[in-house]
Structure 1
Amino acid sequence: MKFAVIVFPGSNCDIDCYKAVEDTVGESVDYVFHTATDLSAYDAILVPGGFSYGDYLRCGAIAQFAPVMAEVQKAAEAGKFVLGICNGFQILTEAGLLPGALIRNNSLKFRCHQVGLVVENATTGFTNAYSQGEVIQIPIAHGEGSYFVEDEQLAALKANNQIVFRYAGDNPNGSVDDIAGVCNEAGNVVGMMPHPERAVKEILGSADGAKMFTSVLNAWRERNGAASIR
């Protein structure tokens, strides 16, 4: 399996994602820059956190027009696995790959600490190693992480089982329905505000994020008729 970590001007969690892949699944991983026009060699694409293009206009608004995003769109439509983390989640919503929008935290403050998450959908390409309803500990680091959708869209997310994570207990940003992560209808594209790549070893405070990377390897192996690593 081959992973791509997309790097935009202002990305700052690309190294974290790269190391998380190395440390959890040991698969091939490359940095791919925003100017790239071919992602056909990759099976999974990680869109990392940071401040792409300085968050000018609004988070992810400029990054959606980078040449590489047309390739991310193609990969998603082809059923390849795409994960957007924090700013990556913002970029995927701006690009229309995921529903909704990310707006300012209701506190108007940057929040950076560990949070509890409930796994609401354990069937996606990035969550199959978790149990349904499992509570995991993953850190957040964002100022514009409040997920918003209109009531009609929220009803559709619920009906289609597209809510992947909810905040357990305290909602740190005011997200609608405590939503921390969602997926597309096919389940191969996932976006979340918390940072699983920062929670892959106990020395970091939690190793609960590691299962997101083993999940996608499981999904890829099962798709290709190989044994999983559950």
Structure 2
Amino acid sequence: MTVREIPEAKIYFDVGANDGRTSLPMAGNPDWVVYAFEPTPELADHLRSRARACNNYHVIQKAVSNKAGTAKFKIAGQGDWGTSSLLDFNDNIDTTWHGRTDFKVTNEIDVEIITLKDFCIENNITRIDHLHTDVQGMDYEVLLGLEELIDRVQGGDIECSRNHDVKLYKNERFVFNDVALGLYENGFVIDAINPNDDHGNLCSPESRLSDANELSIWYRRR
């Protein structure tokens, strides 16, 4: 697949695009070119349908990690389908995510996995103005897959578990301390850290970082 950039437009990578709530608002905006990576067939079809009239919005129906290949993708087809992952759910989620009903695998499919380094080289992308990463337990692997091309990233936001005790997925390697240090070592500064939940439940304005299982880190190149 080769896609053509719009001259002078900024580049937005939406990795784990889900239903497009993050990137679809930019569909049709000539200031941006969006690459939405989403391996779930139903969600990828939804994105294509919503953005079919926009030549700046490209759907890539593949998973992204630090190594190319193929793997089983576990689809959790409940709620907003937002907890589907290459990883299995952890054994302690009934305790750490009490009351959640969407942590159930409803289907498994074979997916192709690519790296952002290969994608950038193939499509001659020399700058990523914003990298949104929400791939359920393997977000930092997406950055690692850029290798030396991580210098092309100007900023973004990334999700991670607060620590290993509350992580949602088995074999989830990188939690907040790892991700924050990795961002610093790769020349980024952190602008904000926000809770994604409150003891596994929905956030409120009073939610605290120390009570969240997952965090969102907003960063930019220093």
Quickly name the TM-score band, shorter chain normalised: 0.3 to 0.5
Q: Which has the higher helix share?
A: 1
TM-score (norm 1): 0.31
TM-score by length of 2: 0.32
Task: Select the structure with the greater relative contact order (CA < 8 A; seq sep ≥ 6).
Answer: 1
Select the structure of larger CA radius of gyration.
2
